[in-house]
Structure 1
């Protein structure tokens, strides 16, 4: 997938906003807040760039350019470790609603999502992950617990995926309990949401396999951005860190290791962009998304491990971002589950 001039301009614009308002210091300030991200940064991205509106069709108040553009934004956010409601709300929540195809619900909810004033949280996983539903439906009432919910504590609208379809629940419903959970990755907040015979509005049926592929592709985009940032940090550090009277980047062994990191980043991008383009066009084979997902996991884990090693002792201090990328890599490897190994394309 080659980026068009418009897509490249979007990437440049988002990167400029993040460089000015979403650097490491801003990300760390966001960690200390209740929501876990910089709300002002999210407001700027929505108002100045329209990131939440990218994949929402024009008839529902969006820009309507598509999934690819949304995931390019996710990639840029992956470079900064910022975790505003882009992945959970503007990608997964929006795509779940679009797959359900309920015009009335979309007309009511999506314009505010596009403006960035309403957030969605997709409630899906059971105790053991995304291969099972955590919530069951009976006569338009929901019971059970959804685990690992992105933006779950503060989302305005809960979209609950069950074996009987997608349901809508107001975030402040009396019989809903939302609990923030301790996570390995401090840069992304997750929640457990409990439903106790909660009244819910049916939205429609969802192609769960396709929604899972979109979720995997979105995480792949984030992993590509994170891996590229780790590579850039490592190369920059190798130019300034002096040992034996020379920058460590001049040592051949380290040059080889950084070259291997570059190959991993670019191969992950090639596979990821292939899968994303196919998803957007509706012509992707499931195995392409699965291959991209598995390779992105391995690539980011390898790249971030090299980043930590080549930065030495400072990489494991709280003040340096390397350990945060390390934690994001291991958390992303579990997010939305993984396809089975090994992969084989049918003859």
Structure 2
């Protein structure tokens, strides 16, 4: 049976993996993405309604919109995309070809690998309060999928990181009241966000959620307890949102491949090279001294990783792809877009002429 060998296989379909697929297409590499779940987007799928401000050149936009744009961009050069396969095994043949094995038993063959598994296998850290699980189908939430659920409601948010603070700011625009409960005096979110949050929400620090009180499967009020004095306070609520972070397993079985790693991921050089030649990394799975854990940082990682993979295959190649405005890979696509825009303009003009005629006749 003939083996289909790729130039590059990207493990993970989050922002780093998707942008790597796009950029490897610019570099004319035969590309495959292997995603363990059944959709692209990675960890960004956990906050689809959240407004994202820190992607260069883009106005604040819902995360779900960014995901859709990234998916469309990733498919520009028609990479092979495989869903529902968690990569667990890796071997390197004598001829330099890597063999990746998924949990399903399927094997994939490639000249280079980019690890872009993000935060790896994640599990939400749930509220450790007796009986909390009984409210999960009603008004106890760990993610926000519909903002309207919180409109004109009294919302209590438990957590002190970026997600908790950002959601407090976002929900304050539509909620009746927002309360933020954090077990420490200091929040771990960006300083400017914490300042803004405190101006639109009521913060209880250092407090924890001590007890949930409900009627049936709905929380009606929450008892908070001061960490030091043990004093309690009762807050009436309509919705409770828990943002305690995630238990992370960076890379899952990938960590058993023998790659150098640290507490927060696989170790890479400034050019995204791992300790094993031919394997590169991008996004939250990797770490180095200058690591930037932003979506914008994932894009930069992806470019560096693809360039390194290209040079690994052929050291005589250029250090990077030509910029899109002068890249021949886009010539035909640019012509298609220009023609589409012309047709759209003509259709609009024709419609306006018709409307104009109707108005005149009437």
The normalised TM-score by structure 1 is 0.26
Higher relative contact order (CA 8 A, sep 6+): 2
Q: Answer with 1 or 2: which has the greater Rg.
A: 2
Larger fraction in helix: 1
